[in-house]
Structure 1
Amino acid sequence: MQPSSNRKRRREAWPKIRKIFNDIHLWGGLISGIVVIVVCFSGTIYTYNTELRELAAPHLHKVEVPQGGVRLPAGSLAKTVAELAGGRVTAVAIPADSRRSFEYTVRTEDDHSRFGTTYYVDPYTGRLLGTSKEETAVGKFMGYMFSLHRWLLLDKIEKPIFGELPNRTLGSYITGAATILFTLGVITGLVIWFPRKLRTWRQGLKIKWTGGWKRLNHDLHNTLAFYSLIFLFLMGITGPQWSFPWYREGLQKTLGTYREAPAGNRGGPAGGGQRGGGQGGPREGRGSDGGRAEERASASLLPIARYLEAADEVLPYRGDYRVMFPAGGDSVLSIMKNRVGFFAPAAGDQLKVNVATASVSEVNIFREKPLNERIAGSIKALHIGNVYGQFTKLLYFFACLIATSLPVTGTLIWLNKMKKKPAKGVRRKRKQAQPV
Structure 2
Amino acid sequence: MLQVSHLNFKKIIRFLHLWLGLISGLVVFVLGLTGSIYAFADEIKEWIYKDRLYVEVPAGASHLPLSQLLPLAEQAMGKEHKISRGELSLEKGRTYMFRALKLNREAFGYWNYYDYYYKVYLNPYTGQVIYKENAKNEFFTVVLALHMNLLMGDRVGHFIVQWSVVCFVVLLLSGVVLWWPKKWKRKQLKKSFKVKWDAKFKRLNYDLHNVTGFYSFLILMIIALTGLMWSFELTTEKKSKVFSDTTRMVDVMPADRILDQALKASPETAYFLYNFPAAKSGTVNVSAYQSEMNLYDKVQYRFDRYSGALLQKGLEFNKQALGSRLISMNYDLHTGSVLGLTGKVLAFFAGLVAAALPLTGFLIWWKKGKK
Please, what TM-score do these two structures have when normalized by structure 2? 0.74
Conserved 8 A contact 1:232-1:399 = yes
Name the structure 2 match of 1:177: 163
CA contact (8 A) 1:345 1:388 kept: no
Larger Rg: 1
User: 1:93/1:56 Cα in 2 relative to 1: closer, same or farther (>3 Å)?
Assistant: same
Match of 1:374 in 2: 325
In structure 1, the residue matched to 2:254 is: 298
Alignment equivalent of 2:88, drawn from 94, 100, 106: 94
Alignment partner of 1:309 out of 254, 259, 264: 264
Q: Distance between the aligned counterparts of 1:403 and 1:85, measured in 2?
A: 40
- 1:235-246 equivalent positions in 2, closer than 5 A: 235-239=223-227
Task: Tell me whether 1:39 sits opposite 2:31 in the alignment.
Answer: yes
Q: Report what 1:402 is aligned to.
A: 353
Q: Which residue of 1 is the match for residue 210 of structure 2?
A: 222
The alignment partner of 1:97 has SS state of coil
The residue matched to 2:301 in structure 1 has which SS?
strand
Structure 1 unmatched ranges of 5 or more: 1-8, 156-167, 260-276, 421-436
How far did 1:188 drift?
0.4
Is 2:51 the counterpart of 1:59? yes
Rounded to whole Å, the distance in 1 between the matches of 2:27 and 2:358 is 10
Q: CA deviation at 1:328?
A: 8.9
1:379-394 equivalences under 5 Å are 379-394=330-345
Equivalence for 1:412: 363
Q: 2:110 maps to what in 1? A: none
C-alpha root-mean-square deviation of aligned residues, in Å? 4.3
In the other structure, the counterpart of 1:197 is 183
| Number of residues of Structure 1 aligned to a counterpart in Structure 2 | 355
Aligned to 1:188: 174
**Which residue is equivalent to 1:434?**
none
Q: Distance in 1 between matches of 2:128 and 2:122?
A: 6
In 2 relative to 1, CA 59–285 (structure 1 residues): closer, same or farther, beyond 3 Å? Answer: farther
8 A contact 1:310–1:360 mirrored in 2: no
1:76 maps to what in 2? Answer: 68
CA deviation map 1:121-172 (0-9, x unaligned): 1122221112343676xx1x445434543444456xxxxxxxxxxxx63444
C-alpha distance in 2 between matches for 1:232 and 1:332? 38
- Residues 91-240 of structure 1 aligned to structure 2 (within 5 Å): 91-105=85-99, 117-133=118-134, 139=138, 141-154=139-152, 169-200=155-186, 202-203=189-190, 204-239=192-227
CA-CA distance at 1:337 after TM superposition: 1.9
> CA 1:334–1:35 in 2, change beyond 3 Å: closer, same or farther?
closer
- Structure 1 pair 401/283, CA: closer, same or farther in 2 (3 Å)? farther
Provide the secondary structure at the position in 2 that maps to 1:322. strand
CA deviations over 1:41-78 (Å, ceiling 9, x no partner) = 23332334455556554332122234555333444323
SS in 2 for 1:349: strand
Provide closer, same or farther for how the CA distance between residues 400 and 327 of structure 1 changes in structure 2, counting only shifts above 3 A: closer
* Identity across matched positions, percent: 28
Amino acid at match of 2:326: I
Which residue identity is paired with 1:224?
Answer: T
C-alpha offsets along residues 85-119 of structure 1, whole Å, 9 cap, x if unaligned?
566766532224213211234699xxx97897543
User: CA 1:284–1:78 in 2, change beyond 3 Å: closer, same or farther?
Assistant: farther
Secondary structure at the counterpart of residue 184 of structure 1: helix
Distance in 1, matches of 2:58 and 2:365, equals 63
Letter in 1 for 2:254: S
Q: 2 CA distance for matches of 1:238 and 1:17?
A: 29
Alignment partner of 1:208: what SS? coil
CA distance in 2, matches of 1:284, 1:107: 23
1:351-388 residue CA offsets vs partner (Å, 9 max, x unmatched):
35689798796342234333333334454554454445
The CA distance in 1 between the partners of 2:156 and 2:27, in whole Å, is 13
Contact 2:271 2:292 in 1 (8 A): no
Give the TM-score normalised by structure 1: 0.65
**Pair 38,333 (structure 1): closer, same or farther in 2 beyond 3 Å:** closer
Which residue does the alignment assign to 1:19? 11
Deviation at 1:189, TM superposition (A): 0.5
* 8 Å contact kept, 2:285–2:300: yes
Q: Deviations over 1:295-336 (max 9, x none)?
A: 2x428x538445412322xxxx45222244679998985432
Code of the residue aligned with 1:45 in structure 2: it is I
Cα distance in 2 between the residues matched to 1:308 and 1:258: 23
Write out aligned runs for 1:296-375 (5 A): 297-298=253-254, 301-302=256-257, 304-305=259-260, 307-312=262-267, 317=268, 319-324=270-275, 334-340=285-291, 344-352=294-302, 362-375=313-326
CA-to-aligned-CA distance 1:204-226 (integer Å, 9 cap, x gap): 23222233333322221122112
CA shift in 2, pair 1:394/1:227, >3 Å: same
Q: Which amino acid aligns with 2:183?
A: K
Distance 1:339 1:382 in 2: 17
CA contact (8 A) 1:337 1:348 kept: yes
